[in-house]
């Protein structure tokens, strides 16, 4: 990363044109060459630009200078993310002044990596993706290759960035590079787990299962029981997709076993997948009891993927034909701050309820909106189910042209589904 990238970023943040930023300091063409890296500005020019952008001069001048006190804070921040991630936000707020305008390129990058990981851990993936795009994309690998731990971090979050953008093959390429470089068992275990997730999305279940089992063993050797529990849960998810429910149940029981008395979000995820298996086996009362345990845990903890578990519960209640309970659960979900995807999932549930109670005009109107969203956002799994349901509905109404249209959409979604399966918990 050259100093021009940092200058360019500051100018854009302040909404200035190149002409406005350079006025009275250097010519616009000269300034353009500074931003693009074709010209290295003098110390006097840097000082004047620092005044214009209202940043410390050191932010432009000491880009290679490491600050030992700041390094200690960064190491403390990293440790918090590993052990007490919920305290990380409080830590950065407390030391906000120290983390503003970090002169060293490598230390600033280290901080942005940790901030990215912190946001991912708290479920703020969109904000994390913005930080990567705005803060890290300008840094070249040559800036980091002399610092192997930082370079490994860079590869790791680049893999995550691609994963969250659904570019799973690129994600795997980054993870393979990590495996070539890494020596620490925990980094290798984490990479095996993420490789498994990416392969799962590529529908390569055999490879995904192989990598998650490698991660399991690494975490067990390290006595990282919660991480091992997550591996057993992912293995169960993969086995569910392979219709190997007996083996999936065994993985879930092993997950509970390694967790012991330590109840956590991982316990909730295991309950979710166990409830899904019971739902598939049509033991609906057992499934209802299990999903209630899952929801209770999630409500008392981080509420991670709570809507997904409520959605499964409502699907169970549909088969029990308990429509009053369905309405009560929908009202409970509506109290939460829902993302757009979650709002559509809730609307889809209501749409199926309209069908069940024969409110066909409301069913048609809402199903059209849901299908439009699923298609526009490439939610192939939901689209396949919704389009099939709508096609059968129109066939029963003897509206064959519409039935064929949604049948074609169902076929399209099935063809695309291989690249768009969802991991972590079964939907």
Range with lowest mean pLDDT among 2-11, 316-325, 347-356: 2-11
Q: What is the mean pLDDT of residues 159-168?
A: 92
* Distance from C-alpha of 240 to C-alpha of 272, rounded to nearest angstrom: 12
Residue 422 confidence (pLDDT) = 41
More confident residue, 88 or 228: 228
* 271: nearest Cα among 258, 288, 284: 288
Q: How confident is the model at residue 406 (pLDDT cuts 50, 70, 90)?
A: very high
* 370: nearest Cα among 358, 357, 354: 354
Could you please report the per-residue DSSP string of 100-162? SS-S-HHHHHHHHHHHHHHHHHTT-HHHHHHHIIIIITT--GGGTTTSHHHHHHHHHHHHHHH
pLDDT tens digit sequence for 284-343: 999 999 999 999 998 887 666 788 899 899 989 989 989 899 989 988 888 887 888 888
* 215: nearest Cα among 187, 243, 252, 237: 187
Range with lowest mean pLDDT among 134-138, 146-150, 159-163, 211-215: 134-138
Q: How confident is the model at residue 145 (pLDDT cuts 50, 70, 90)?
A: low
Range with lowest mean pLDDT among 5-14, 227-236, 270-279: 5-14
* Residue 316 contacts residue 287 (beta carbons within 8 Å): yes
Residue 341, token pair as written in the block: 């995807």
Residue 263 confidence (pLDDT) = 84
Residue 157, pLDDT > 70, answer yes
Mean pLDDT of the chain: 89
* Residue 313 contacts residue 351 (beta carbons within 8 Å): no
Instruction: Give the whole-number percent of the chain exceeding pLDDT 70.
Output: 94
* Distance from C-alpha of 161 to C-alpha of 225, rounded to nearest angstrom: 27
Residue 424, pLDDT > 60, answer no
Residue 418 confidence (pLDDT) = 57
pLDDT tens digit sequence for 55-89: 999 988 888 888 999 999 999 998 888 777 778 88
More confident residue, 61 or 142: 61
Q: How confident is the model at residue 140 (pLDDT cuts 50, 70, 90)?
A: low
pLDDT tens digit sequence for 254-291: 999 999 988 888 999 999 999 999 999 999 999 999 99
Q: How confident is the model at residue 134 (pLDDT cuts 50, 70, 90)?
A: confident
Residue 427, pLDDT > 60, answer no
* Residue 349 contacts residue 314 (beta carbons within 8 Å): yes
* Distance from C-alpha of 368 to C-alpha of 390, rounded to nearest angstrom: 9
* Distance from C-alpha of 388 to C-alpha of 411, rounded to nearest angstrom: 9
Q: How confident is the model at residue 421 (pLDDT cuts 50, 70, 90)?
A: very low
* Distance from C-alpha of 350 to C-alpha of 364, rounded to nearest angstrom: 12
* Residue 198 contacts residue 220 (beta carbons within 8 Å): no
pLDDT tens digit sequence for 185-217: 999 999 999 999 999 988 899 999 999 999 999
* Residue 284 contacts residue 318 (beta carbons within 8 Å): no
Count, residues in the chain: 427
* 315: nearest Cα among 357, 345, 271: 345
- Token match 């009891």: residue? 289
Provide the b/e sequence for 218-239 (b: ≥16 CB within 10 Å): bbeeeebbbbbbbbbbbbbbbb
* Residue 233 contacts residue 270 (beta carbons within 8 Å): yes
Q: What is the pTM of this model?
A: 0.79
Residue 278 confidence (pLDDT) = 97
Taking CA atoms, 177 is separated from 32, 335, 349, 386, in Å, by 35, 44, 42, 40
Q: How confident is the model at residue 144 (pLDDT cuts 50, 70, 90)?
A: low
Q: What is the CA radius of gyration of the chain?
A: 26
Q: What is the mean pLDDT of residues 149-162?
A: 89
Taking CA atoms, 152 is separated from 116, 135, 143, 211, 382, in Å, by 14, 17, 13, 19, 36
């Amino acid at each position: 990363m050259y100093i021009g990238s940092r200058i360019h970023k500051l100018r854009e943040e302040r909404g200035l044109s190149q002409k406005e930023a350079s006025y009275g300091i250097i010519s616009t063409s000269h300034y353009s060459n500074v931003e693009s890296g074709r010209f290295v500005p003098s110390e006097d020019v840097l000082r004047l630009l620092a005044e214009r952008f209202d940043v410390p001069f050191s932010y432009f001048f000491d880009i290679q200078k490491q600050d030992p006190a700041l390094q200690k804070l960064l190491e403390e921040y990293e440790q918090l993310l590993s052990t007490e991630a919920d305290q990380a936000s409080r830590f950065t707020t407390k030391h906000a002044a120290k983390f503003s305008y970090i002169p060293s390129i490598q230390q600033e990058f280290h901080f942005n990596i940790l901030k990215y990981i912190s946001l991912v851990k708290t479920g703020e993936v969109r904000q994390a993706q913005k930080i990567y795009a705005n803060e890290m994309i300008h840094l070249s690998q040559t800036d980091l290759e002399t610092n192997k731990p930082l370079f490994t971090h860079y590869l790791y979050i680049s893999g995550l960035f691609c994963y969250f953008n659904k570019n799973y093959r690129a994600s795997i390429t980054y993870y393979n590079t990590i495996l070539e470089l890494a020596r620490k068992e925990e980094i290798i275990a984490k990479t095996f787990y993420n490789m498994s997730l990416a392969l799962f999305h590529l529908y390569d279940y055999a490879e995904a299962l192989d990598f998650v089992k490698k991660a399991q063993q690494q975490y067990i050797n390290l006595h990282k029981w919660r991480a091992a529990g997550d591996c057993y849960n992912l293995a169960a998810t993969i086995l569910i997709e392979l219709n190997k429910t007996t083996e999936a149940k065994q993985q879930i029981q092993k997950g509970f076993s390694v967790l012991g008395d330590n109840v956590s979000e991982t316990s909730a995820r295991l309950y979710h997948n166990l409830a899904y298996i019971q739902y598939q086996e049509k033991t609906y009362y057992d499934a209802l009891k299990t999903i209630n345990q899952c929801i209770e845990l999630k409500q008392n903890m981080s509420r991670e993927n709570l809507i997904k578990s409520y959605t499964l519960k409502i699907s169970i209640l549909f088969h029990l034909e308990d429509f009053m309970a369905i309405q009560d659960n929908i009202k409970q979900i509506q109290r939460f701050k829902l993302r757009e995807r979650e709002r559509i999932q809730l609307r889809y549930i209501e749409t199926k309820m309209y069908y069940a109670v024969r409110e066909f005009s409301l069913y048609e109107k809402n199903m059209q909106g849901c299908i439009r969203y699923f298609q526009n956002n490439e939610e192939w799994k939901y689209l396949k189910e919704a389009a099939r349901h709508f096609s059968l509905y129109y066939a029963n109404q003897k509206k064959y042209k519409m039935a064929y249209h949604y049948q074609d959409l169902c076929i399209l979604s099935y063809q695309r589904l291989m690249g768009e399966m969802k991991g972590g918990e079964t939907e």
